[in-house]
Each structure stands twice: as C-alpha cells, then as structure tokens.
Amino acid sequence: MFVTLLIVTFLISFVVSGIVVRMFGKPIDKILRRIIADEISQAWVKYLKFAIYVVGISSGVRIWSLERYITPEQLERGQIIELTTERWVLEVYRTIIGSLQGIAWLLLIFFIFALIAFVIVRIFELRRPMNEEIKETTYR
C-alpha cells in the first residue's frame, strides 16, 4: 500500500508540474527571449522547465512525511499508521498543494530576477539612442 501511495503522489506531482509548465511555458520563453537576445535563451527555458518539474515533484512527494506509514512512531504506541481512504484523500491533497506551493516559490523568484534583468536591459536600451544622438551632434 505504501509503494502505491508513493507512486500515486509521484504521478500527481508530475502531472501538476506538467500543467504548470504548459501554462507558463510561453511567458517564460517570451521573457527570456526579451532579456537574453540570443539562442542561449532556449537553453534557459529548458532548464527552467526542468527546474519546475524537479521542484514540483520534490515538493509534492514528501518522503519524510510518508515515512510514518512504514515506521512505527512513539505517539501511535509503536504502531504503523494505517492508510485509510481519508488518509489517501489527505495525501493527494497535500501532494497537489505541496507541488503548487514549491513551484509558486520557484516562479516568484524567477520573475523577481527577470523583472530586475528587464529593467537593466531597458535602461541600456534607452541610453543607446541618447548616446548615438550625442555622437551625431558632436561630429557635425
């Protein structure tokens, strides 16, 4: 029963991560193309998608929490906690919420750094025409 729970939580985390990758794939691609105007942006997109899967699965499948179903605890008088229908529902819910929470933190950090990078790129873009105008008036 424990192995089944482990596989189910892994699959749910994988599916949740896949849905998030599908939802945020295009925005991530556009942001990175804008910030990194080079072919390397595609490598960063692939890496970020991989990171979403890793964080989503590792946040959703909480091994330390699932260990209580195979390890006797002192609080339960040395008995292993039984996997009932209610516990299955609770674990599925925890898996979905854990995956989404981990991915949300990852994307928040990414978007904060992307915003900072966008502002820096924008400042340099705005300075470039000003520098070209100054050079043109100086040489005349």
In a domain, 27, yes or no: yes
Whose tokens are 């990414």? That residue is: 110
The pLDDT value recorded for residue 73 is: 63
Indicate the pTM of the whole model.
0.78
Domain extent for 91: 2-114
**CA dist list (Å): 112 to 31, 50, 59, 95:** 12, 19, 21, 26
In a domain, 42, yes or no: yes
Percentage of residues in the chain with pLDDT exceeding 90? 49
In a domain, 81, yes or no: yes
In a domain, 121, yes or no: no
In a domain, 140, yes or no: no
Distance CA 121, CA 113 (A): 12
In a domain, 37, yes or no: yes
Domain count across the chain: 1
The pLDDT value recorded for residue 35 is: 87
In a domain, 136, yes or no: no
The pLDDT value recorded for residue 62 is: 84
In a domain, 125, yes or no: no
The pLDDT value recorded for residue 110 is: 93
